[in-house]
Amino acid sequence: MTVELFGMARSLAGVAHVELALEGPVALPQFVHALAEAVPALVPDVIAPARDAFVEPNLLLLDGRRAPRAGETFDAGDRPCVLFLASGG
Amino acid sequence: MAYAGPRDLLEVDLTARTARRTPLPDAVFADALGGVGLAVLLLEQRVHGPIDPLGPDNPIVFAAGPFASTPVPAANKHALAAISPLTGLLNEGLSSSHFSAVLRRCGLAAIVVTGVADAWTTLVVDGEAIRFEDAQPLVGLSAREATKALRERYGDRSLRVCAIGVAGERGVRFASVENDGRQAGRGGTGAVFGAKRLKAVALRGRGEVGVADAAATASLAATLRERALGPKTAKYRILGTGANMRVLQRMGQLPTRNFTAAQFAGTDAVTPERARESHDTYVELRAGCAGCPVQCEHLYVRKDRDRRRAAASEYESTWAFGPNCGVDDLDAVLDAIGRCDELGLDTISTGSAIAFAMECAEHGLLPRDAFGPALAFGNGAVLLPAIDAIAQRRGVGDLLARGVRAAAAAIGGDAAAFAMHAKGLELPGYEPRALPTYALGLATCTRGACHNRSATYDRDLRDPSTDPDPQARAADAIAAEDRAVAWDSLVLCKFVRDCFVDFEAEAAALWSAVAGLPLDGAALRAAAQRTWERKRAINARLGWTPDDDRLPERLLTEPIADGPLAGRRLEPERLARMQDAYERLRAAAGTAAPVA
């Protein structure tokens, strides 16, 4: 599964894409765990130390368009992107 | 227990050259907390009907954040409020750093400036002493140069100064006010300074700022500081907001060429991340506000250039001159940002005004050679001449200096269709057609199109339904607005927003420990609601009606043109349903009880 990385995730990983050895549909906690295994540098700034959730406001959007619903599974065809938006000050 | 912080109000009349200092009662702080809450309360007491924003009756209000000059991190901030010459409505901005802290060290909770000086003036607050000094030698200088000159005159490098640049002197309606390299950028308060012939306000104060419960304050502040050094703010420390650009491009919602497209082919060339990644070409400098552990500001300059020309790379600024003007030349974009800071211009409104002019030129409504180099999307060479002409109010620049709403009215024809604003304030760099809750917040915002008073895009990102539940979206928008008022009254930097587990309870406890007056989460919410009601009441006195809560026609009539969200619309009927729900919920909430 190819994962597109943006912002902090890209900066810490040093790459724009990462390949995860995941076969078939996965749910979010499984995906986050696999991503943490593949790119340990994402813990703890992007992925929480328990490796089961993103540190807000980092989030996963499928094809950059929507977050998976609770319990929903997704696969490589959903084109997962890890990103965040930031404004304020 | 009495309010423990500095409590004096300094009222200055520039016409009469008088100043009066009076203590504010505890009830004022219990009611309004500080910052924006206090500034809005003081404006409500002084604005009773329509006034000329550039006339003597428009009060400029400085209101210190209640945590400034205390151990609380990310809180050396102040509110700067006035009636906006761009919108004709309330404008409450924020700025930060040493000036905010010294305001309190002068024993002041707030300053209100009215009248018009008969010559260019610097208002000097030197502890208890107030002076009106000749500012003629400072005219034509940037805020940074004026600060340097004042410090040399006083022989005091610790003098804290807020000042306007040339744009404010000339009355550009989106001129900013700068202190310590930070700007209260939006809404044109710099022009209000200029109209009053107020070039600068200089502060020198070394008084102690007390807190009610030093031990509790230290403990709560230490917790917040520790969190602010952790992963919750890493994105600001390491990257800054400029990282939004690639994200929005990927999501298909990067406003491009004055909102005519949502995909910008030059994104990777112009994103601030590119400068960060190009170690051989650019130098990255870091900066931040006094007492802030985040140090969020990332400035870049080419290695072969003077480092003093390094430009800040916030998303909004790089978007305004990059994608929104179709410019994919990072150096041109950074130079444009730097020139705006030098001249004292709001980058969002300036970039938007130029993008508007580019589209007008494309349609034959403005001459393509108005600024020399072709006034056309994608031409980075026109940015600096256009910015200079706006600041100097020369030719077409004078037209744009009024803001896109007024410029479109003067140009006529189809120009109004190209004017991307809400209530006269130019749109920031998010695509309302893709973000329905954000769109609602943009329409209802009392300030006009401000992304920091109702930043509800998080809900939209997680649930980008094209047919949103109006009631739920309206409730989200209201909660976001009131939350922003609470932040801006406390005044905490929104970059530490994720550092609270229970924001209302923790922030209320912090305020109570510092101020010495009781406050809990519910009372904080009520205070925020009161301030929001005051904002709307002020606007109503100035002539606002709910019919003014509109978004640009383009967003309601043209679908997103390109990219993965091509065809996405913001249906006027859907927006209207959300607005109806919003008004019903606001009405049902009633009026927040006043503080006895």
Q: Which amino acid is at B502?
A: D
Contacts with A56 from chain B: Cβ below 8 Å: 232, 498
Give chain B's domain count. Answer: 3
- B486/B188 Cα distance (integer angstroms): 23
Token pair belonging to B315: 């998303």
Is residue B410 in a domain?
no
Domain containing residue B538: 436-588
Token pair belonging to B184: 């209260």
* CA–CA min distance A13, chain B (Å): 13
B173: nearest Cα among B197, B156, B157, B193: B193
Q: Please answer yes or no on whether B461 and A61 come within 8 Å at the CB atom.
A: yes
* CA–CA min distance A68, chain B (Å): 8
The values of phi and psi at residue B532, to 5°, are -60, -45
More confident residue, B200 or B273: B200
Token pair belonging to B115: 């009248």
B128-175 confidence digits (pLDDT tens): 999 999 999 999 999 999 999 999 999 999 999 999 999 999 999 999
Domain containing residue A16: 2-69
Is residue A60 in a domain?
yes
Q: Are residues B19 and B90 in the same domain?
A: yes
Taking 60 as the threshold, does the pLDDT of residue B90 lie above it?
Answer: yes
B379-406 confidence digits (pLDDT tens): 999 999 999 999 999 999 999 999 999 9
Is residue B424 in a domain?
no
Q: Are residues B452 and B560 in the same domain?
A: yes
Q: Is the separation of the CB atoms in B241 and A87 below 8 Å?
A: yes
A74: DSSP letter: B
Other beta carbons within 10 Å of B158: 12
Residue B457: predicted pLDDT: 78
Q: Is the separation of the CB atoms in B455 and B442 below 8 Å?
A: no
B134: DSSP letter: E
- B289/B280 Cα distance (integer angstroms): 28
> How big is the CA angle at B104 (ends B98 and B108), to the nearest 5 degrees?
135
Q: Is the separation of the CB atoms in B358 and B325 below 8 Å?
A: yes
Instruction: Give me the residues of B, 493-522, that contact A with CB < 8 A.
Output: 493-495, 497-498
First-to-last alpha carbon distance for chain A, in angstroms, is 36
Is residue B430 in a domain?
no
Token pair belonging to B387: 């910015």
Q: Is the separation of the CB atoms in A84 and A7 below 8 Å?
A: yes
Cβ partners under 8 Å of residue B368, min gap 6: B361, B374, B375, B376
DSSP string for A36-63: HHH-GGGTTTTB-TTSSSBPTT-EEEET
Is residue B395 in a domain?
no
B408-464 confidence digits (pLDDT tens): 999 999 999 999 999 999 999 999 999 999 999 999 999 999 988 887 777 787 776
Is residue B45 in a domain?
yes
Q: Are residues B243 and B200 in the same domain?
A: no
The values of phi and psi at residue B452, to 5°, are -105, 5
Is residue B219 in a domain?
no
Token pair belonging to B141: 């200088």
Instruction: Give me the residues of B, 429-488, that contact A with CB < 8 A.
Output: 451-452, 455, 457-458, 461-464
Is residue A77 in a domain?
no
Q: Are residues B470 and B513 in the same domain?
A: yes
ipTM of the complex: 0.93
B459: nearest Cα among B447, B477, B444, B443: B477
Contacts with B248 from chain A: Cβ below 8 Å: 85
Contacts with B241 from chain A: Cβ below 8 Å: 86-87, 89
Token pair belonging to B506: 């923790």
The reply to whether B314 touches chain A by the CB within 8 Å rule is yes
Q: Is the separation of the CB atoms in A8 and A16 below 8 Å?
A: no
- B539/B486 Cα distance (integer angstroms): 19
Is residue A88 in a domain?
no
Q: Are residues B12 and B145 in the same domain?
A: yes
* CA–CA min distance A14, chain B (Å): 10
B338-378 confidence digits (pLDDT tens): 999 999 999 999 999 999 999 999 999 999 999 999 999 99
The values of phi and psi at residue B77, to 5°, are -140, 160
> How big is the CA angle at A16 (ends A84 and B281), to the nearest 5 degrees?
100
Taking 70 as the threshold, does the pLDDT of residue B596 lie above it?
Answer: no
Residue B592: predicted pLDDT: 64
Residue B232: predicted pLDDT: 85
- B562/B103 Cα distance (integer angstroms): 49
Q: Are residues B153 and B30 in the same domain?
A: yes
Query: What secondary structure, in 3-state letters, does B549-568 show?
Result: CCCCHHHHHCCCCCCCCCCC
B297 phi-psi bin (left φ>0, alpha ψ -120 to 50, beta other)? beta
Q: Which amino acid is at B296?
A: C
Q: Are residues B457 and B570 in the same domain?
A: yes
> How big is the CA angle at B166 (ends B165 and B167), to the nearest 5 degrees?
95
| Closest Cβ opposite residue B315 in set A10, A59, A87 | A87
* CA–CA min distance B336, chain A (Å): 21
Contacts with A28 from chain B: Cβ below 8 Å: none
Q: How many CA atoms lie within 13 A of B411 on its CB side?
A: 30
B567-590 confidence digits (pLDDT tens): 999 999 999 999 999 999 999 987
Q: Is the separation of the CB atoms in B212 and B516 below 8 Å?
A: yes
Q: Give the pLDDT mean for B234-257.
A: 92
Is residue B422 in a domain?
no
Other beta carbons within 10 Å of B558: 15
Q: What is the CATH number of the domain that holds B326?
A: 1.10.569.10
Taking 60 as the threshold, does the pLDDT of residue B331 lie above it?
Answer: yes
Q: Give the pLDDT mean for B242-271.
A: 95
B355: nearest Cα among B426, B414, B433: B426
Residue A64: predicted pLDDT: 86
**Quick check: helix, strand or coil at residue B212?**
coil
First-to-last alpha carbon distance for chain B, in angstroms, is 16
Residue B563 CA to its chain's centroid (Å)? 30
B62-89 confidence digits (pLDDT tens): 999 999 999 999 999 999 999 999 999 9
Contacts with B235 from chain A: Cβ below 8 Å: 7-8, 45, 58, 84, 86
- B451/B460 Cα distance (integer angstroms): 14
> How big is the CA angle at B576 (ends B571 and B579), to the nearest 5 degrees?
130
Dump strand ranges (E) for B372-429. Answer: 421-422, 425-426
Give chain A's domain count. Answer: 1
Q: Are residues B99 and B153 in the same domain?
A: yes
Q: What is the CATH number of the domain that holds B584?
A: 1.10.599.10
Q: What is the CATH number of the domain that holds B48?
A: 3.60.9.10
Q: Are residues B280 and B184 in the same domain?
A: no
Helices B503-515/B214-228 angle, 10° precision? 140
Cross-strand partners of B421: B426
Taking 60 as the threshold, does the pLDDT of residue B594 lie above it?
Answer: no
- B36/B562 Cα distance (integer angstroms): 40
Q: Are residues B449 and B515 in the same domain?
A: yes
Taking 90 as the threshold, does the pLDDT of residue B558 lie above it?
Answer: yes
Q: Please answer yes or no on whether B235 and A86 come within 8 Å at the CB atom.
A: yes
> How big is the CA angle at B455 (ends B450 and B457), to the nearest 5 degrees?
125
Q: Are residues B193 and B294 in the same domain?
A: no
The values of phi and psi at residue B82, to 5°, are -170, 175
Q: Give the pLDDT mean for B472-499.
A: 94
Helices B470-490/B503-515 angle, 10° precision? 20
Mutation to test the A interface, candidates B461, B463, B493, most A Cβ within 10 Å: B461
Q: Is the separation of the CB atoms in B148 and B157 below 8 Å?
A: no
Cross-strand partners of B460: none
Tokens 């009880």: give the residue: B593
Q: Is the separation of the CB atoms in B439 and B575 below 8 Å?
A: yes
Q: Please answer yes or no on whether B495 and A89 come within 8 Å at the CB atom.
A: yes
B287-327 confidence digits (pLDDT tens): 999 989 999 989 999 999 998 889 988 999 999 999 999 99
Q: Calculate Rg over the CA atoms of chain B.
A: 22
Check the CA dihedral B139-B143-B145-B148 and report its sign: positive
Number of A–B residue contacts, CB under 8 Å = 100
Q: Are residues B440 and B319 in the same domain?
A: no
- B573/A2 Cα distance (integer angstroms): 39
Tokens 């619903």: give the residue: A69
Is residue B221 in a domain?
no
- B410/B516 Cα distance (integer angstroms): 53
Taking 70 as the threshold, does the pLDDT of residue B593 lie above it?
Answer: no
Taking 90 as the threshold, does the pLDDT of residue B18 lie above it?
Answer: yes
